[in-house]
Amino acid sequence: MRATVLATLGNVLEWYDFTVYGFLAVYIAANFFPGEDPVAALLSAFGVFAVGFIARPLGALVLGPLIDRKGRKSVMLLSMLMMAGGSLLVGIAPSYVTFGAFGAFVIIFGRLLQGFSAGGEFGSSAVFLVEWANPKRRGFFGSFHQVATYGGLLVGVLFVAGLTAVLGPDIMSSWGWRIPFIVGSALAIVVLVLRRRVSETPVFSEAKVDAAAAGNASAPSAPKPLELSAVTGFFLTLGVVALWAVTSMVTINYMPTFTANFAGIPPQEALWATCIGCFVAVALIPLAGHLSDRYGRKPFIIGAAIGYIVLAYPLFLMIVEGRAFGFVVLAQVIFAIPTAAIAGTGSTTISELFATRRRGTLVSIGSAISVTIFGGFGALICTLLIQTTGIPTAPAFYVIGVAVITLIAGIALPNLAGRELRR
């Protein structure tokens, strides 16, 4: 339980630091990408947001193998340190008025560092939680990986919304937007110290012992060539994570900006609506993980995909046409149900697909590529779709398309719930 708490707490701050940028994109655009066209400035800000995701696969390629060679804990510590540094850089970057384009370069470097860190954090913490769990309870304990991820989103929304209410939009636009990054960086260092006290997972330790006993102590660091099952698992990971990434990066992280710019909702109300939806998702995620231990992972992955295919367009239409706080809240609460279904089972699902000696590497790389392609560019793609088509509900079509990909992957998934993890 101690390992679960520390891993979860660290992951909360990791994803708070990484995603709070999206909630502050409007202010960052005004400070670093000034111009007469607010949509163009917003596109620039979201372009930098996407930069963090571009660095994720690189981080996964470098840090993923370290997860299997040095251990899950060591990469969790390293990624937390890098995330703290990246957040601090974003928080102290000089604005365009102060230092011209240099500030934008500092923001970009900070986002690159954050993205590199996230490439290792996702896989190390997901595998860490799943490997510590009893086989019959892997879904439940694995779900706390996403309780932490969406919890980080929720903390970010709450902090930004509360800060906006206290300081007001003018101060937030001037310097208040920096506070969440600086506070997050400081808290990350605190959690880094606490994480040092947690032990390595028994599964990884036993695998190292088995490899040494077999006269091949370097086995975890030098995986054998990929077998068909590993290749299949890799592509299934891409498919499962696709919609999973969109649920957090589009329907939660991007939604405050979308509703404020295209549905006429005041920014503070948009943040509170997202906060309510995120809270519902966080509450439902452990329930989904628990039920997946009983009924398997597939029904939840498939159900989430179908839910988004059916609900995406009507809910985006309701937000745009309704133009009221209540409609945004209702949409976010409904979105939270299929979101919890896939988020609550996703970490365990993809971790079960691989053997211990390469689990960290393949979970990290597969998830990083999928999150980058489908989630990292999600806000940018949605904004471009609206600008190109002139249709405010255009993001729904992107969400539906990604949901179809996940539906196909969900149908192809094997049933591994309750089985011992492969060495």
Query: pLDDT, tens digit, for every residue of 120-131?
Result: 888 888 888 888
The answer to whether 344 and 300 are in contact (CB under 8 A) is: yes
Q: Is the pLDDT of residue 282 over 70?
A: yes
99 Cβ neighbours under 8 A, 6+ residues apart:
none
Mean pLDDT, range 168-177, rounded to an integer = 90
Could you count the other beta carbons within 10 Å of the beta carbon of residue 4? 18
Which of the four pLDDT bands, split at 50, 70 and 90, describes residue 408?
very high
Selected residue with higher pLDDT from 284 and 99: 284
C-alpha dihedral over 40, 41, 43, 47, to 10 degrees? Answer: 140
In DSSP notation, 100-126 reads: TTHHHHHHHHHHHHHHHHHHHHHHHHH
- In this structure, what DSSP letter does residue 133 have? S
Minimal CA–CA distance to 180: which of 207, 162, 198? Answer: 162
The answer to whether 129 and 6 are in contact (CB under 8 A) is: no
**pLDDT computed for residue 7 by the predictor:** 72
* Contacts of 165-170 spanning 24+ positions with Cβ under 8 A: 165/268, 169/267, 169/268
Mean pLDDT, range 71-91, rounded to an integer = 88
Output phi, psi for 298, to 5 deg.
-55, -45
Q: Is the pLDDT of residue 194 over 80?
A: no
Q: How far is residue 190 CA from its own chain's centroid?
A: 21
Rg over alpha carbons for the chain, rounded to the nearest Å, is: 20
Q: Among 3-17, 150-164, 360-374, whose mean pLDDT is lowest?
A: 3-17
Q: Among 52-66, 73-87, 213-227, whose mean pLDDT is lowest?
A: 213-227
Tokens linked to 14: 């990791």
- Give CA–CA dist 265/247, Å, rounded: 21
Q: Is the pLDDT of residue 36 over 70?
A: no
Could you count the other beta carbons within 10 Å of the beta carbon of residue 214? 9
Q: Which domains does the chain have, with CATH numbers?
A: 2-412 (1.20.1250.20)
Percent of the chain with pLDDT over 90: 36
Q: What is the mean pLDDT of the chain?
A: 85
Q: Among 14-28, 178-192, 393-407, whose mean pLDDT is lowest?
A: 14-28
State whether residue 211 is helix, strand or coil.
helix
Residue 215 buriedness (CB in 10 A; 0-12 / 13-18 / 19+): exposed
Selected residue with higher pLDDT from 325 and 191: 325
